Amino acid sequence: MNTFQIHISRRRFLARSAVAAGLPLWCLDELHSQAAQTRPLAANDKPGIGLIGCGGQGRGDCNWARNYGTVIAVADVDDGHAEEAQKQFGAAHRFKDFRKLLERDDIHVIINGTPDHWHTLINIASARAGKDIYSEKPLTLTIAEGKTLVQEIRKHQRVLQVGSQQRSDARFRLACELVRNGRIGRLEHMVVGLPTGPREGPFSAVPVPPELDWDYYLGQTPKVDYNGHNSHWNFRWWYQFSGGQITDWGAHHNDIAQWGNGTERSGPVEVDGKGLVEMIPGGYDAMAKYRIDCKYANGVTMTIVDEGTVTDRNVVGGGKSTPNGVQFIGTDGWIFVSRSEIKANKQELIEEPLPSGATRLHKSDNHMGNFFECVRSRKDPICDVEIGHRSISIAHLGVISVRMKRPLRWDPSREQFIDDAEADRWLSRAMRAPYDMSFI
């Protein structure tokens, strides 16, 4: 039996202790909070950092974070990744079970660089342990996870910054401010261009590397064979773990589209997704080529499409492709923004300063720096838990529509489909024991 399957979590232990002591179960949360309390920061202390998920993205985030704190411990189910991270950051402690890392009271901040299917459990466990969290995107595997995570972060009064670093890029902020202030007239349509995903396979089972705990890596998802193409970087091409580029890059650009549309705490009311290729049986199964059309309650429409597909409303790309970025199209012009440029049909749309009294958006020029500022101030960061949940919800809705092969109507206030019990079943996924909510 896997050692993690017989591990009794701190929360479960406290529940049993409460009952044994004759205490009512409502005391459990108070007991858990006391047991998991993190050592408070003094005015000049550097926060203690714990890295969970030590692959390339996690180490990159942690390398950025150590400018603001001290890396105390690292955790990963791949011993090789954990050893590399421990050496890189000079961490005193290394764990395979992230729950052991969370027990340390000298860790204030968690950097969560794990694959998508582990984000929610680790983020909830971190919040319950009194830690603040910088979480990689996409924030969740399902919309139901997002709703639960928002509640947990608010309940435990934690700071959570989603790694949607484009919010701290001046180009993206300027584009959204211009759109919000009517620089292109009334916003009518948005085009979100994402990369085309891989279409490869089939793949056959191969031996699991000795340094990787494959069962723990799979976590809440169904048990499948290791094939050398379904872990680490390539996890994102499998529906089991993610949603392909629709959720990977979509988490970034959907966030900017929502920001420009003023709907970052809401979402569309109609979604119609289509897969444009047949995926190879036994190979990657997250849709590689796609088109997702959305409509908002304010009348604005949006098309999410891979770069290799041209749309009828594409104003950038010369009619040959859809560029990676966000196009805002209004009654009086258009603005396009990406990680390398911002441009418009008329340059003065960008160059003319905004007037005094214009709507200005949350300003951050350093995404990790903004997070650590908020760890001190206890204010919400520029991409807080709800914003991150809402931006990835659009991608999840698109994936659901693509897989169901039909349009869907969505109620963003209730976060349910409208009169569609079949679609509502896609809002969550069964979690494989023991890696369900009882695991934390």
Is there a single domain that holds both residue 241 and residue 390? yes
Which of 107, 140, 165 is where one domain is finished? 165
Whether the per-residue pLDDT at 317 is higher than 90: the answer is: no
CB 186 within 8 A of CB 330: yes
pLDDT score of 382 more than 80: yes
Residue 300 has pLDDT above 80, yes or no: yes
Q: Any alpha helices (H) in 265-383, and if so which ranges?
A: 348-351, 367-377
- Whole-angstrom distance, CA of residue 131 vs CA of residue 249: 27
On the 0-12 / 13-18 / 19+ scale of CB atoms within 10 A, 429 is middle
- Spatial separation of the C-alpha atoms in residues 159 and 33, rounded to whole Å: 16
Those residues with Cβ within 8 angstroms of residue 49's Cβ, 6 or more apart along the chain or in another chain: 62, 65, 66, 69, 70, 71, 72, 107, 108, 109, 110, 111
Segment 60-83, tens digit of pLDDT: 999 999 999 999 999 999 999 999
Does residue 326 form part of some domain? yes
Of 402, 234, 242, 245, give the one whose Cα is nearest residue 308: 245
Query: pLDDT tens digits, residue range 17-34?
Result: 444 444 444 344 444 444
- Over residues 361-381, the pLDDT tens digits come to 999 999 999 999 999 999 999
pTM above the 0.95 mark? no
User: Letter for the amino acid at 420?
Assistant: D
What pLDDT is stored for residue 38 in this prediction?
A: 85
- On whether both 217 and 120 belong to a single domain, the answer is no
Closest CA to 134 of 364, 381, 366: 381
Phi (first) and psi of residue 292, to 5 degrees: -125, 120
pLDDT for residue 110 is more than 70: yes
- Condensed to tens digits (0 to 9), the pLDDT of residues 173-193 reads 999 999 999 999 999 999 999
> 290 with 396, same domain?
yes
Q: Note the pLDDT tens digit of each residue in 165-175.
A: 999 999 999 99
Give the closest residue to 335 by CA, choosing from 195, 193, 191, 194: 191
Q: Assess whether 306 and 391 both reside in one domain.
A: yes
pLDDT band at residue 39 under the 50/70/90 scheme: confident
> How far is the C-alpha of 418 from the C-alpha of 424, rounded, in Å?
9
Question: What is the rounded average pLDDT of the residues 395-412?
Answer: 98
Q: DSSP of 199-210, one letter per residue? A: --------PPPT
pLDDT, one tens digit per residue, over 246-257 is 999 999 999 999
Position 350 scores a pLDDT of 97
Task: Report d(CA 279, CA 263) in Å as an integer.
Answer: 33
Confidence grade of residue 42 (pLDDT, cut at 50, 70, 90): confident
- Is there a single domain that holds both residue 146 and residue 233? no
| Whether 318 and 184 share a structural domain | yes
Alpha helices, H only, 90-193: 98-102, 116-128, 143-155, 170-180
Determine which helix (DSSP H) or strand (DSSP E) holds 327, and give its type and residue range: strand 325-330
H or E stretch at 93: strand 93-95
> Is there a domain that residue 365 lies in?
no
Choose one of 112, 146, 165: the last residue of a domain.
165
276-286, pLDDT tens digit by residue? 999 999 999 99
Residues 6 or more apart whose Cβ sits within 8 Å of residue 214:
208, 226, 231
Q: Which CATH number is 392's domain given?
A: 3.30.360.10
User: Same domain for 59 and 157?
Assistant: yes
Supply the pLDDT for residue 33.
44
Residue 49 bridge partners (DSSP): 71, 109
- Give the whole-number percent of the chain exceeding pLDDT 90: 87
Q: Which residue has the higher pLDDT, 52 or 43?
A: 52
pLDDT at residue 27, rounded to an integer: 41
Q: For 191-248, how does the pLDDT look when each residue is reduced to its tens digit (9 = 90+)?
A: 999 999 999 999 999 999 999 999 999 999 999 999 999 999 999 999 999 999 999 9
Residues 157 and 184 both lie in one domain = no
pLDDT (0 to 100) of residue 207: 98
Q: Is 247 among the domain residues? A: yes
In a domain, 400, yes or no: yes
Q: Point out the domain boundary residue: 145, 165, 185.
A: 165
Count of residues for the chain?
Answer: 440
pLDDT at 2: 42
- Same domain for 127 and 185, yes or no, is no
Residue 96 within any structural domain of the chain:
yes
Phi-psi region of 91 (alpha: psi -120 to 50; beta: other; left: phi over 0): beta
Q: Is residue 1 part of a domain?
A: no
Higher pLDDT residue, 144 or 36?
144
Q: Does position 335 have pLDDT exceeding 70, yes or no? A: yes
- Of 234, 247, 320, 321, the C-alpha closest to 284 is 234
> 214: domain range?
167-354+385-427
Closest CA to 364 of 355, 374, 349, 356: 374
Q: How far is CA 169 from the centre of its chain?
A: 18
The helix (run of H) or strand (run of E) holding residue 86 is helix 79-89
203 and 342 in contact (C-beta within 8 Å)? no
Indicate whether 274 and 410 sit together in one domain. yes
Domain count, the chain: 2
In a domain, 438, yes or no: no
Radius of gyration over every alpha carbon of the chain, rounded to an integer in angstroms: 22
pLDDT at site 293: 98
Residue 321 pLDDT: 87
Same domain, 128 and 237: no
In a domain, 135, yes or no: yes
Q: Tell me, what's the pLDDT at 36?
A: 52
Whichever domain contains 62, its CATH number is 3.40.50.720
CB 220 within 8 A of CB 124: no
Same domain assignment for residues 147 and 274 = no
**Distance set, CA 261 to CA 147, 264, 358 (Å):** 22, 8, 16
pLDDT at 326: 98
Residue 154 above 80 pLDDT?
yes
What whole-number distance in Å separates Cα of residue 301 and Cα of residue 33? 45
